Structure 1
Amino acid sequence: MARALLIDPDTTIPAEEMMLSFARSSGPGGQNVNKVNTKAVLRWNVAATDAITETVKKRFLKQYANRVNQAGELVLASDIHREQIRNIAACYDKLRQLLLPVLHPPKRRRSTRPTRGSVERRIAEKKRRSDQKKQRRFRPE
């Protein structure tokens, strides 16, 4: 039932790499919740995938290490909708949203000098704090 997932024009995760399973949703809903398996659980083995490059894989595993299990699988679940199809779409969307930020390397930060105003404010605050501490000192006369 899984379908290939298009992340961006250059990146597609094939359906064979993802595994969908279903379970009963939690929470209120009465008879529908008790009878129908609407919760969707998507499993994707990040460690074994060929859909993304090694550098993207490293960035993904570094950024989402807490979401990947010991077997290298990312497990996403959705039970917010009443329909199974919408929960499947929500799982795919979650995966897409996790992958988009790591597809491209982050821009390198160019260091800048602090502005004159910020330096002056910092020095003035240090002077004020120094004076405040000087006032606390005991000076016998």
Structure 2
Amino acid sequence: MLTISRTLSLPESELVERFLRADGPGGQHVNRTESAVELRFDVAGSPSLPDEVRARLLARRDRRLTAEGMLVIQARRFRDQGRNRDDARERLVEIIRGVLTPPKKRVATKPTRASKERRLAGKQQRGRIKQTRSHKPDFE
């Protein structure tokens, strides 16, 4: 059981782990062991996720999310499989925790009078600079 929050946890059966050979440090040992971990979680088909959380997860523009709604996390930071496995699971937990609370609605505000005046002053300054460029001096 992977605990996300007090109210949400994922059963192990929903996580698919695949082990593969990692590049990077490790010498000859890295060529013989499968220390990298690829963790797959079916966001679209998970019965454990509430509908709102699932919708927010699928709405994210994340390159780790496939078109079928599968979240794929690759962990190859460490040299041993156990630490990479824990790292992948921690990253999955962080991704899901990030969408647990709905984003705050933006409150529309009007620009202040000072900000309008600063904007107009900047436009006038820019206009004066451009005006000085347009007149060619007369050489006679």
* Distance in 1 between residues matched to 2:36 and 2:134, nearest whole Å: 67
Q: Which residue of 1 aligns with 2:82?
A: 85
Q: Which residue of 2 aligns with 1:28?
A: 25
1:34 partner amino acid: N
2:121 partner amino acid: A
Q: Alpha carbon RMSD of aligned pairs, Å? A: 2.1
Q: Which residue of 1 aligns with 2:46?
A: 49
* Distance in 2 between residues matched to 1:128 and 1:95, nearest whole Å: 51
* Identical residues among aligned pairs (%): 35
Aligned length: 138
Shift of 1:131: 2.4
SS in 2 for 1:77: strand
* Distance in 1 between residues matched to 2:135 and 2:28, nearest whole Å: 77
TM alignment of 1:55-94, pairs within 5 A: 55-94=52-91
Unpaired segments ≥5 residues, structure 2: none
Q: Which residue of 1 aligns with 2:95?
A: 98
Q: Which residue of 2 aligns with 1:109?
A: 106
**Higher alpha-carbon deviation: 59-68 or 121-130:** 59-68
2:63 partner amino acid: N
Unpaired segments ≥5 residues, structure 1: none
Over 3 Å counting, the alpha-carbon distance change for 1:32 and 1:130 in structure 2 is same
**Higher alpha-carbon deviation: 123-132 or 73-82:** 123-132
